[in-house]
Structure 1
């Protein structure tokens, strides 16, 4: 089994011990001041960085086990061959939220053994995703009490999961440190050892990350339901934290914890009735989040195959929100007209509009974000122009270049 020490030694002399680098077009592996290759260590793999002469940066993922068998090789070859879906109607980009330029190199790294014999091991290469993990970004937003950003993250997460469901793709181990947020706001999933998709229903042999995995692991669950529980755990956590960022002080792990929980621990999910966090969700005064908390509580008790899909829990949240928005008796018999595109720009209204705009930006739907920036009136609001104007100006430049190229 490859060890971290063996891999570090090989990457330190990468020109001789890492054939994958030449096959990928060359480059250098950055090192620390101590002469050790710079890397990120996870539970099952270590990831090194490869900087190429062109300026491109790749991630070199090296397994820390001998379980990388032919099935895993087939999985990564299949992932590398998946076509990138073109943007669909309305300009929405429904490409799979995966790192680009995925490549599987079977004899990627050569390791020296104790008997002086060398052994070769695979390397998986992909574009290096520049940005924090969802765990780190959420922790930072909670510390800053940035409710609009957390609400936008929740909306973006729901859109991402809906896209995966529509594509028939399952990650298999959704957790906050397997989710990265690029500098431009796009959410990207990493760590593909458990992925499956339509036509490639690979077996699932591990229960997933504690704090996200269902308490009752069932390897027979179909592809469509493999991400249902973990995606609901993350969505409920983000929705709750968008209301009470201070809940991170009561639950969840530190921003650099491997496999760290956003809010719910494995113990919370195993015993929701005895969980302090689940109890706090009941008192948030937000019917949609309370309904989602109840759905998650029930999902913990049910079999994994009975967990609601994103379509089902999304509908539940929407319906609970609409019920809460109904006028009280004597209030005129009808709900107040939406104020999204008219009326004075109060602080509350600005926060609501910015939350929606951030959601569109996080999902990469730049065309809709462009329209919303103008239709919402944010572009006429001085405070919004200061806070978001530079980012929207960058979007406008990219959009102008794209329109010229398409003309």
Structure 2
């Protein structure tokens, strides 16, 4: 079962959503929850009887602590939690309302083979915006040929981007699928996983979506938003001129983050794009200016984007196109780690030198060292620096062509050519007039390279370029000087951090964490933050493991700090996972015991975690064992009563009685009573037949009962206890008793009447004397009868 199926199963649970949001999922015609599937999240529409519909959203990756495309689940929840408190006055309806983070969200079933839930998923609920996505609305309008609708949508896109820019809100991943058209025609932005704003606890994340971001430069989130605006607005204006282009280009509405018109390959190489060529032939002159602006923006650095955006009507330029370069990037977010560190170390005594604090060295042996080596820079930028200076004797070799080429290189801002020529012309009196322009070109080159290195997060290269510019006495702008100071500060803090981690200096790590100095490293150094926090949290985790207390271990283990535990020792990782399994298992067992759910108890005890049962108290173990035994006895009884094996039913009934179980099923009781009755009758019959002397009276009473109950074919009534044989024997003995009664009266007539006829061979049971007496009675009676006959004949 994949994660999507798990999510649908959780939505279909009878009480799952009632517990969370007091609503039910909207179903399709087949009765299954409707789930919108994105690259990073699943979204379900939840209908509530007494309120508006809401959207329930979870990450698409496995596990509460797993990593998604835009950060960990904890970062994801933190970002949306901060959005809940965002001042939305200037944003209006550009964002969904009612954002809430639900820590104990829906329970997803574990993979096949393990029916236990994996625990509650972190979920986000927000306003369900009724309306199509922009790509759906555009596709519908284009196919219907409604140019006025496409123009209105283009204006609405500009309005929503203006609204975000006025609040300094950066979406970071604007696509036609992340824009929803409200019923009033205005547009709202969804999928805020990469968003940031001035007070955001996390900076912008992600890398945008191909087809909406700049084809080569997309590190700057604000730049991604504005390039997406240029792409979407230009596409909408083109489709307004010729809606039929939508039939030939663009992605279908079912594609994730599908493009409206231009594919990523079209933006990467507009000159080779068939789409650009056809658009040039089919749009009017006003729109053609936008097409040329988009084509130029694809081939130019993102820093030149703002001049192309001026062609968009009603567009309002935001304060900055780059949150990174303006110094507004997010900082290290310590969550509750600082509070834990303060509580742990605020009043701690100085450690005893004889007992140095020990930490897991393996937690951080690979912290990336910033390099200030010139090899980190692009060689094409520094080739001019290594060009040898020409000897003074070559000055007379300077020609007018050289001076002309220098002027041409300066006009074209061809830095490598300027460097090559200036190495020969710097001592030329005529060329020295251009020294100011050459210096400005070199300074601009350094500033451009420093800005690019800063955008890549390469502080060592930024510092080296600043030092080289200082050695060459090249003037740098205030922005580059600020970049150099920030890079130097980050290098110093990184060096301190490296040293503290390498030496396991707990005090230094705690000081860095509490002082707030780590904030300058920014979100791009989040792995280093985790290493710091892991080093600080390690002793507490070790002490908890030494106590062998699962609860203390889980309190000391912070998933947001240790992540997927890949940096932990195998023994420590196994111990933490065992603690997690045992604590979860004990909670389930105690809940099932409290609710008397014997089925759940039996399932949990089928494969308990190591040492799990021993963590229960002796009374609890005894109660669980009794409950499981009683349930097993009742299940065995329920199985055997479906058959005809009375012995098995009696044995199962005896086990039920032995373990103290109670039979509450009326059908089972009816079957048991009939079985007991049958067994009792057969036992009494056998007992009467085996008694000495045989109890013929009891046999005579029981034999009709056995036949009435249909027990003649019972396996125990075979051989000597065959019903037919017993009946014949009882009849024969009754005949014997009648003969002996007649013999006791010594009456020949009675003896003959009792003895003749003898169909059951009763005479064989008489003694010799009794048989002689019967014979004499028969002979005497026959002589008397003969004399009577003769007398009648004679008369």
SS in 1 for 2:244: helix
Sort the Cα spacing of 1:6 and 1:310 in 2 relative to 1 into closer, same or farther, 3 A: farther
> Do the aligned partners of 2:20 and 2:106 also contact (CA within 8 Å) in 1?
no
Sort the Cα spacing of 1:237 and 1:177 in 2 relative to 1 into closer, same or farther, 3 A: same
Q: Deviations over 1:152-203 (max 9, x none)?
A: 1111211221221122111111111111112221211111111111232744
Query: Does the alignment pair 1:258 with 2:256?
Result: yes
- Point out the more displaced range, 70-79 or 31-40: 31-40
Sort the Cα spacing of 1:169 and 1:317 in 2 relative to 1 into closer, same or farther, 3 A: closer
What is aligned with 1:249?
247
Sort the Cα spacing of 1:288 and 1:47 in 2 relative to 1 into closer, same or farther, 3 A: same
Sort the Cα spacing of 1:201 and 1:239 in 2 relative to 1 into closer, same or farther, 3 A: farther
Q: What is the CA distance between 1:4 and its match in structure 2?
A: 0.5
Sort the Cα spacing of 1:43 and 1:287 in 2 relative to 1 into closer, same or farther, 3 A: same
SS in 2 for 1:197: coil
> Do the aligned partners of 1:284 and 1:290 also contact (CA within 8 Å) in 2?
no
| Structure 1 Cα separation of the partners of residues 300 and 92 of structure 2 | 32
Alignment counterpart, residue 85 of structure 2, candidates 49, 67, 81: 81
Q: Deviations over 1:323-380 (max 9, x none)?
A: xxxxxxxxxxxxxxxxxxxxxxxxxxxxxxxxxxxxxxxxxxxxxxxxxxxxxxxxxx
Q: Map of 1:49-68 to 2, 5 A cutoff?
A: 49-65=45-61, 66-67=66-67, 68=72
TM-score by length of 1: 0.69
| Structure 2 Cα separation of the partners of residues 316 and 31 of structure 1 | 42
Q: Deviations over 1:116-160 (max 9, x none)?
A: 352222111111111111111111111111111111111121122
Q: What is the CA distance between 1:313 and its match in structure 2?
A: 3.7
Alignment counterpart, residue 314 of structure 1, candidates 291, 312, 315: 312
> Do the aligned partners of 2:131 and 2:182 also contact (CA within 8 Å) in 1?
yes
> Do the aligned partners of 1:251 and 1:264 also contact (CA within 8 Å) in 2?
yes
> Do the aligned partners of 1:228 and 1:310 also contact (CA within 8 Å) in 2?
no
Query: Does the alignment pair 1:165 with 2:165?
Result: yes
| Structure 2 Cα separation of the partners of residues 117 and 285 of structure 1 | 57
- Point out the more displaced range, 126-135 or 67-76: 67-76
Q: What is the CA distance between 1:217 and its match in structure 2?
A: 4.4
What is aligned with 1:325?
none
Q: Map of 1:1-400 to 2, 5 A cutoff?
A: 3-13=3-13, 15-16=15-16, 18=17, 22-24=19-21, 26-65=22-61, 66-67=66-67, 68-85=72-89, 95=92, 97-114=94-111, 115=114, 116-200=116-200, 202-219=202-219, 221=220, 223-284=221-282, 286-308=284-306, 312-314=310-312
Sort the Cα spacing of 1:311 and 1:285 in 2 relative to 1 into closer, same or farther, 3 A: closer
Sort the Cα spacing of 1:106 and 1:244 in 2 relative to 1 into closer, same or farther, 3 A: same
| Structure 1 Cα separation of the partners of residues 175 and 55 of structure 2 | 19
Would you tell me which structure has more strand in proportion to its own residues? 1
User: Which runs of 5 or more residues in structure 1 are unaligned?
Assistant: 87-93, 319-407
> Do the aligned partners of 1:99 and 1:129 also contact (CA within 8 Å) in 2?
yes
SS in 1 for 2:249: coil
> Do the aligned partners of 1:14 and 1:29 also contact (CA within 8 Å) in 2?
no
What is aligned with 1:375?
none
> Do the aligned partners of 1:161 and 1:310 also contact (CA within 8 Å) in 2?
no
Would you tell me which structure has more helix in proportion to its own residues? 2
Sort the Cα spacing of 1:2 and 1:205 in 2 relative to 1 into closer, same or farther, 3 A: farther
| Structure 2 Cα separation of the partners of residues 34 and 284 of structure 1 | 45
SS in 2 for 1:84: coil
> Do the aligned partners of 1:3 and 1:64 also contact (CA within 8 Å) in 2?
yes
- Point out the more displaced range, 154-163 or 137-146: 154-163
Sort the Cα spacing of 1:263 and 1:79 in 2 relative to 1 into closer, same or farther, 3 A: same
> Do the aligned partners of 1:45 and 1:64 also contact (CA within 8 Å) in 2?
yes
SS in 2 for 1:225: helix
TM-score by length of 2: 0.36
SS in 2 for 1:59: strand
Sort the Cα spacing of 1:257 and 1:285 in 2 relative to 1 into closer, same or farther, 3 A: closer
> Do the aligned partners of 1:282 and 1:290 also contact (CA within 8 Å) in 2?
yes
| Structure 2 Cα separation of the partners of residues 108 and 42 of structure 1 | 19
> Do the aligned partners of 1:281 and 1:289 also contact (CA within 8 Å) in 2?
no
What is aligned with 1:345?
none
SS in 2 for 1:49: strand
What is aligned with 2:578?
none
Sort the Cα spacing of 1:117 and 1:40 in 2 relative to 1 into closer, same or farther, 3 A: closer
Sort the Cα spacing of 1:6 and 1:279 in 2 relative to 1 into closer, same or farther, 3 A: same
What is aligned with 1:381?
none
SS in 2 for 1:99: coil
> Do the aligned partners of 1:239 and 1:289 also contact (CA within 8 Å) in 2?
yes
Sort the Cα spacing of 1:81 and 1:54 in 2 relative to 1 into closer, same or farther, 3 A: same
> Do the aligned partners of 2:195 and 2:205 also contact (CA within 8 Å) in 1?
no
| Structure 2 Cα separation of the partners of residues 205 and 303 of structure 1 | 20
User: Which runs of 5 or more residues in structure 2 are unaligned?
Assistant: 317-795
What is aligned with 2:743?
none
Q: What is the CA distance between 1:32 and its match in structure 2?
A: 3.0
Structure 1 or 2, whichever has the larger Rg, is 2
How many residues matched? 305
